[in-house]
Amino acid sequence: MHICFITNEYPMKGINGGGIGSLVQFLSRMLVKKDIKVSVIGISKEFTNKNTFDQGVQIYRLAKSKWKIGKFYDHTIRILSKINELDKEEPLNIVEGSELNFAFFPKKTSYKKIIRLHGGHHFFANELDKKPAIWRSFQEKQSFKKADGYIAVSDYVGRQTQKYLNFKFNYKVIYNSVDTAKFHVADITKLQHNTLLFVGTVCEKKGIRQLIQAMPLIKEKFPSIKLKIVGRDWIDKNGNSFTEYLKTYINNDLKNNIELLGPVPHVEIPDYIEKAHVCVFPSHMEAMPIAWLEALSMGKILIAGDIGPGREAIKNGVTGLLVNPFKINLLASVIIDVLNNVNSNVYGKAARKDIISRFNLDATITKNIEYYNKILS
pLDDT at 23 over 90: no
Of 260, 302, 310, 261, which is closest to residue 284 (Cα–Cα)?
A: 310
Packing angle, helices 346-358 and 290-297, rounded to 10 = 120
Pairing between strand 149-152 and 172-173? Answer: parallel
CA–CA distance from 340 to each of 67, 167, 221 (Å)?
A: 55, 48, 10
Pairing between strand 112-117 and 94-97? Answer: parallel
The pLDDT-based confidence of 128 (bands split at 50, 70, 90) is confident
Report the C-alpha dihedral over residues 241, 266, 207, 8, rounded to 10 degrees.
Answer: 60
Burial class (CB in 10 A: 0-12, 13-18, 19+), 377: exposed
pTM: 0.90
pLDDT at 15 over 70: no
Query: Do 32 and 1 form a contact (C-beta atoms < 8 A)?
Result: no
CA–CA distance from 57 to each of 32, 60, 169 (Å)?
A: 7, 10, 31
- The pLDDT of residue 16 is 59
pLDDT digits (tens, 9 = 90+) for 175-199: 999 989 999 999 999 999 999 999 9
- The pLDDT of residue 29 is 94
- The pLDDT of residue 164 is 94
- The pLDDT of residue 75 is 95
Mean pLDDT computed over 292-318? 95
Q: What domains appear along the chain, each with residue ranges and CATH number?
A: 2-177+360-376 (3.40.50.2000), 188-358 (3.40.50.2000)
**Alpha-carbon torsion 101, 105, 108, 109, what sign?**
negative
The pLDDT-based confidence of 361 (bands split at 50, 70, 90) is confident
Q: Average per-residue pLDDT in the chain?
A: 94
- The pLDDT of residue 11 is 85
Spatial distance between the Cα atoms of 108 and 190, rounded to a whole number of angstroms: 55
Mean pLDDT computed over 281-297? 95
pLDDT at 318 over 80: yes
- Say which range, 200-204, 328-332, 359-363, has the weakest mean pLDDT: 359-363
Report the C-alpha dihedral over residues 215, 216, 218, 222, rounded to 10 degrees.
Answer: 120
Burial class (CB in 10 A: 0-12, 13-18, 19+), 101: buried
pLDDT at 350 over 80: yes
Count Cβ atoms below 10 Å from residue 73 Cβ, excluding itself.
Answer: 14
Mean pLDDT computed over 35-58? 94
pLDDT at 313 over 90: yes
